[in-house]
Each structure stands twice: as C-alpha cells, then as structure tokens.
Structure 1
Amino acid sequence: MEHLNVSQISHSFGDQPVLKDISFSLDHGEFVSVLGPSGSGKSTLFSLVGGLLQPHSGDILLEGESIVGKSGSISYTPQTPSLFPWRTILGNVLLGQEISGEKNSEKALEMLERAGLSSYEHAYPHELSGGMKQRVSFIRSVLSPQSLILLDEPFSALDEFTRTDMQKWLLSMWEEHQRSILFVTHNIEEALFLSDRIIILSPRPATVQKEIRVPFSRPRDEELLLTEDFLELKKDIYHEMRLSHV
C-alpha cells in the first residue's frame, strides 16, 4: 500500500482556480519533491495535505485512510522555522513528543549533538543562526510521531553555501531515519540533489505537468552538482518548465 495518495485534488480561492486534478503518490521512506514556479500552488497543496484546508474535490489518503480536513496526521516544517521564542531549543525539539505523550529527551539530545547543536540545548531561538534554527525545526519533525514529513522550502532564505550544507545534513538525517518526505521547492538543483522522484507542477491552475525519477545513486555528495549527467538533467527540467510559460 502507498504511504500517501493524492487523488484528483482541485482547489480554488474564490473564482481563482489554484489546483486542478492533482494526483500523485508517495511510498514508504521515499523522498519526493514538488517542483513548480512561484505562485503555482505548491504551498496550497501542502495546506491541503496537512489538513489546514479542504479541497473542493478529490481525496488524500494516508495509509489508505482519508485525511482530508484532519490536522495532526503529518509533521510539517514551514519556510520559516516557527520555533517558540519562550522555549529552549530542547523544549522546541520535544514539542511534538510532548503533544503525543511520548517524550524522549535522550533521543532529542542525541540528535541535537548530531546536528552540531549540543551546546545550545538550553539556549533560545534568538541566539541561533537561520541554518541552526532550520536544523532544530527538522529535528522536531523527525522526533514527532507522524510518519510523513512535509518540508515547505525550508532553505529558501539561506545563502548558497549554508543551503548546500543544510541539504547534505538533511539527506544524512533522512537516510538514517528513513521517514517519508514530501518537499516543496522552486529550485531545480535542490530538487534533483535531494529527491528520489520529482513532481513538476504547471503554472496556475496547477496540474501535474511531468513526473521524473531521479537516476542518481545514494548517498549523494555535492560533487554530484557539477557532473555532466546532473547538469544535463537540470537543463532538461528547466526547458520542461520553461515550455509551460510560453
């Protein structure tokens, strides 16, 4: 059985259609990116999968059960870290576990150490850089009990080198814990570097324009970004997305 199945989802805001008959699936432990131009409805799709909005038509199944309009079924990391400023870093990381009643401070401290944040567990969010806050946000998602993590352009505000470091760190954490990840981005290179598959959305009203299986083996290193095969596939995806704007 597929982990997540999005079936013929359509949604509008007033008389403005945003998504039209969107269908795709996600297998257990798979990393899938949703790639599309700004304003194509990627974040709206996430709000639908997360239960914050209800689609005008279609269904969303998690482990075969409909989660339409049901919040709390997935773990969500937004574009900004959304950490509580009055809670310590450890307190923020443990939030999802506290809500579910499964608090495990030892595991949280271990993951903070892996992320290079072992000396910051008693610090507060304002004392951390942007990249450090995103690591905290992702660790909170991994420690939450939900089996599916949605990541909504979490590295878009970071500089290029910090972004690459965060991508490598994210892959190392994902490969260790093998959670299913649905990742939204408008960055072709990022989608290629991280994903098993890429779902390309058209401009509004968004449809699934194309689905691409990424051929590169894992684990992946940043040297991949400069290889001929990587650059050729990046160019192909660019032209595919460019065609929809003509």
Structure 2
Amino acid sequence: MAELSLIDISKSFGGRQVLENVSFSVSDAEFVSIVGPSGSGKSTLFHLIGGLLEPDNGDIYLDDKRVNGKRGAISYMPQSPSLLPWRTVLENVMLGGEIIGDKNPSEAINMMAKAGLAGYEDAYPDQLSGGMKQRAAFIRSMLSPQPLMCLDEPFSALDEFTRLDMQQWLLSMWEEHRRSILFVTHNIEEALFLSDRVIVLSSGPALVKADYTIPFTRPRKESMVLSHDFLEWKKTIYQELRVMT
C-alpha cells in the first residue's frame, strides 16, 4: 500500500520561489502524471518527496507518516537508466533488494524474461540498447521494497516508436503489479495514455493549475491516441499549458 499526500509545499533557491503551496495526493495503486512548463519544479518535487531536499513550508506524508527530509521512502527512476557499468544486468536489477539484504534472483530473472531481457542476465549495460536499459532500470525500481515509484521522464531520450513500445510495456507491468506511480513528463500524449490522473503545474513559482481525472478505460490500446476523445483531452491540457507561456 502506498498513499502519498503533499500539503502546501513551498520551496525556494537563492531567493527564487520554485514551488508555492503545492498540494496533491496519489492514492494506492494509482498512476498519476505531472506535466508543466520547463523549469516549473517537477524534478524538485521528486527531490522533496525522496528526501534529498526539505520543503521550506508544508508537509509530505507517505501512508500517514511524515517523510519530510527522510530518504529511502520511494523508488526513483531518473531520465538516465543509471545502471552501474561494472555490474551485470541481473546484478543491477537486484540492487534495491541487495541494499536491504533481500535479494531474490528467481523473481528478478522472471521479471527480466517478461521484459524481453531473457538471456541478458550476465550481459553488461553497454551491451544493451536504450530501450533495454530503461526496462532494466524499471525492473530495478519494481524490485525495490518501496511501495511508491517516482519516474522522472524515463522515456524522454528514446525515439518515438521505442517510446510507444516502452509506454505499452510499462502499462502491462503496472497493471500486473499495481504499484503507486508518480510520473513526470513533458509529453501530453504520454501523460494521457498512461495515467489515471494528470496534474498540470504552472510556471515559476509552480502551483497546481489543474488536476484532471482521465476517463479512458483500461487496458489502454495504441489506437486510443487517435480517437476524438483523446485528441480533445490533449487539446484541453495543451491550452492549459499554453496560457502559461
């Protein structure tokens, strides 16, 4: 179980206000995406939730426990896969469990097979394609013990077709395991395709401009992105962002 609540979070750097009274929640097993203009504080939010930074004001709760400034409460996947080059792929994906003394090679191998990485257990990261590295990084997050996953634009460096494949794969894994996910992206289509809710942040200082519940049924199909309803939702969020630029 993982329920996240941010209450009136504010943060500034060198006198520049980055976040101002930001409040939102992520329910258990919910997939929530955050979109906003560049520099709107999306990554800063992750650093606050992960305990790398402390808010100037406000509180962060995970399962009703205040986690301001506390590290280790979330599983984090950055834009770069950040695989350790001297470790095999299997050793990389088991890293989270290894840190807490709870390695499970059979589960890791099983998840790698589902991710199309069977046969790469003993390979090293430089032998993988970009999409394969992202799959390995996601499995590492899935195998970490923390119930909340924060994904910071994990597919931004991939080409369009690989990105779509990764989105569909991510959804298949999420629907099987139902972890709570907070996902940052600049891509409106990606947010709509993946999410139960989409939160729109304003630009400098960031506050929650809109919080949309996305009505599309699951499982999501690729053809959905060309439907009239999908394009209308994309237009709505685009216009919300457009007025801030």
Same fold (TM over 0.5): yes
Secondary structure of the corresponding residue to residue 97 of structure 1 = helix
Contact 1:2/1:25 (8 A) holds in 2? no
Residue matched to 2:94: 94
Residue matched to 1:76: 76
Contact 1:141/1:149 (8 A) holds in 2? yes
2:194 is matched by which residue type in structure 1? L
Q: CA deviation at 1:117?
A: 0.3
1:112-134 deviations in whole A, cap 9, x for unaligned?
00000011110000111111100
Residue matched to 1:9: 9
Residue matched to 1:145: 145
Q: How does 1:63-212 map onto structure 2 within 5 Å?
A: 63-212=63-212
- Tell me, in whole angstroms, the C-alpha distance in 1 between the residues paired with 2:138 and 2:154: 9
Root-mean-square deviation over aligned CA pairs: 0.9
Q: CA deviation at 1:6?
A: 0.5
2:108 is matched by which residue type in structure 1? A
Secondary structure of the corresponding residue to residue 133 of structure 1 = helix
1:64-115 deviations in whole A, cap 9, x for unaligned?
0011111110000000001100000000000000111111100000000000
Structure 1 gap ranges (5+): none
Q: CA deviation at 1:37?
A: 1.1
Structure 2 gap ranges (5+): none
Q: CA deviation at 1:2?
A: 7.3
Secondary structure of the corresponding residue to residue 118 of structure 1 = coil
Secondary structure of the corresponding residue to residue 119 of structure 1 = coil
Secondary structure of the corresponding residue to residue 52 of structure 1 = coil
1:10 is matched by which residue type in structure 2? S
Report how many aligned residue pairs link the two structures.
Answer: 245
Q: CA deviation at 1:240?
A: 1.1
- Tell me, in whole angstroms, the C-alpha distance in 1 between the residues paired with 2:184 and 2:2: 20
1:56 is matched by which residue type in structure 2? D
Contact 2:94/2:108 (8 A) holds in 1? yes
Quick check: 1:37 aligned with 2:29? no
2:171 is matched by which residue type in structure 1? L
Residue matched to 2:50: 50
Residue matched to 1:233: 233
- Tell me, in whole angstroms, the C-alpha distance in 2 between the residues paired with 1:81 and 1:208: 28
- Tell me, in whole angstroms, the C-alpha distance in 2 between the residues paired with 1:153 and 1:175: 20
Q: CA deviation at 1:186?
A: 1.0
Contact 2:2/2:29 (8 A) holds in 1? no
Give TM-score scaled by structure 2 length. Answer: 0.99
- Tell me, in whole angstroms, the C-alpha distance in 1 between the residues paired with 2:70 and 2:85: 27
Percent identity over paired residues: 64
